[in-house]
Amino acid sequence: MINQIGNYSLFIALFASIFLLFQSSNVIRNKSKNLDGKIFSALSVQSLMVLISFFSLIFAFIVSDFSNETVYNNSHTTKPLFYKISGSWGNHEGSLLLWLLVLTIFLFIFFISSKKLLNKYRILTVLFQELIIIGFLLFILFTSNPFLHLFPIPKEGTGLNPILQDPALAIHPPILYLGYVGTSIIFSSALAALVCGMVNKIWAKHIKKWVVISWIFLTIGILLGSIWAYYELGWGGFWFWDPVENVSLMPWFCLTALFHTIIVLEKRNIYQSWTIILSIATFSLSMGGTFLVRSGILNSIHTFANDPSRGIFILCFLLVLVLLAIFIFFIFQKKLSNNLTKPFLASKETAIIVNNWFMMFFLSVVLVGTVYPIFLEVISGSKISVGPPFYQKLILPFLIPFLLFMAVGPKLKWIKDNLSKIKLNQIMLFILSIAISYFIVKFFRVSYLLILPLFALGFFLFFVTIKDFFSKNSTMSQKISHFGFSLFILSILFNGILAKEFSSNMKVGDERKYLNKIIKFENLKIVEKNNYKSLVANFKISDEKSSINLSPEVRIYNQPRTLTSEAAINSTIYSDNFLVFNVIKNDGYYNVRYQFKPLMMWIWFSIILISVGGILSYLKKNE
């Protein structure tokens, strides 16, 4: 019964979408000045049906309805209620249904919140968005249906992947999808504005709220995923350059560039073409990430699916949307203003566009590092992995001028500024930054060539953003976000030069000396839980001044039978002591990995500050 309700609701939503597609076309073709009330009704029905379908799936998970194939493959009666609910979107089919739910709700919100804008623009946005919604509905119903029926009905399910049974990852996908799906509204709205010839200040002011809200959710979603990977996967770092991590980072780069470009368009009515291109690219990267994660072609520990046929559907659908967008852009770009005043070299808008170029370079590096191994394997059959050194060697040199422009750019005036009016206090801050950086490099004996300019410009940006809090030249949202970014850069730099790692095979009672610390494997005990058995080790990390106890775990889940390692982390405002151990096939020995990670808490806190700046920006323009 639950399966039928969920399945039929999706078919009704599909009929509503097809109706909306034709109804929108008729309204545009007939040049109706009044919006047809049927569109509002159809949007309401569409959103309601998808909502009913989604809650039907959640209910099936809660009651452990194993007649549902998705529930059977991703749940178990012994699983806690919280993970039964989150398991509904912790799989390929359920996550796509969540995508669809956000798509329909966002479109409904857009339609009712844009009443003051041109009717043709609103209807065209509905039309383009419905093309995306219909594509997802067809994909779900015919390749990834979450309501397939099993007979005979199994008595027990196979269980959810144990690494997904975590609070951070339970809320990570919904938040990340809010960011991803928000880019679809930006995409549809940009094409509609282009066709209507209204890529101007009015449109920029309207669409900026969607850019900001998508950017906020994408930033928070990436943060949650990064924290989860840090402690759950035992990677021991804030970023591992894993392909799935990169998939979320690429649209973030593009969306950040779009965020700043929209501000220029709103203020100066320039960069119209660039704004449209970024709007198309941001959504394309979000969809491209969906393809990569769900096609099974990425080699990652947290991809959702391994069925290439499903990925081909998304790839073909994405190509159709991108080709449609490119076609519309070249046909209607003549409607963009041609009488544009070129910005002066020394101006805020020039600084923003230069930083946009850097964002596009960082995006290109991540894109190549993620996609190139895939193409190489397809073409030659050779498998390679692209790790952190590739990204660091390409990104770090260009991070130096990027930080300089970020420190100087916001200080420039709109239209034109005079560079000869550089203030003495800015020069003094720059000299102070170089002096502090030189002392740090000498004190810690760092030999990496670029570390001195990176630290110098990191500190310069840090001091400039602190000074901004006492000026009235920028908004509070900008001050907080830019300060958060400067703190992020400095935290990463200190983390990079001061982090230490130790790895060894140990058994109970063993001691190892590492630097000025003694690592002792004190004891091991077995703890029984509802759906897993845990080997809990107790380690003592001590030096001359203090000692801490860390208790990492190896969990053995019963459904499915899987071993996972749970890191033990002792966090302070200064550093993290991170320890993880794994079972090895040897008499009583375990592989132990201990890491000293400075300023990890400040890395997480800095990203929160960046997000808070975005939230303040959203609230300010909605007062």
Write down the pLDDT at residue 78: 79
Write down the pLDDT at residue 241: 87
* β-strand pairing of 517-528 with 532-542: antiparallel
Write down the pLDDT at residue 470: 86
User: Smallest Cα–Cα separation from 345: which of 403, 259, 419?
Assistant: 419
Amino acid letter, residue 152: P
- Residue 312 to residues 71, 139, 251, 315, 367: CA-CA distances in angstroms? 25, 11, 21, 5, 19
Helices (runs of H) and strands (runs of E) counted in the chain: 17, 10
* Domain boundaries of the chain, sorted by first residue: 1-163, 166-409, 500-600
Amino acid letter, residue 588: G
* Structure-token pair, residue 41: 């009704």
| Alpha-helical runs (H) found in 269-304 | 272-295
Write down the pLDDT at residue 485: 96
Whether 520 contacts 538, CB under 8 Å: no
User: Smallest Cα–Cα separation from 102: which of 221, 21, 208?
Assistant: 221
The one-character DSSP state at 413 is: P
Global confidence as pTM: 0.92
List CB contacts of 535: < 8 A, sequence separation 6 or more: 524, 525, 526, 553, 554, 555, 556, 583
How high is the mean pLDDT in each 10-residue block of the chain (623 residues)? 89 95 85 73 95 95 91 85 87 90 95 89 94 94 90 82 75 89 95 92 93 96 89 77 88 95 88 94 89 63 56 83 93 71 71 92 94 80 82 93 89 64 79 95 87 95 92 85 96 93 91 91 88 89 90 82 85 92 83 92 96 91 48
| C-alpha to C-alpha distance for 280 and 303, rounded to whole angstroms | 25
Write down the pLDDT at residue 32: 66
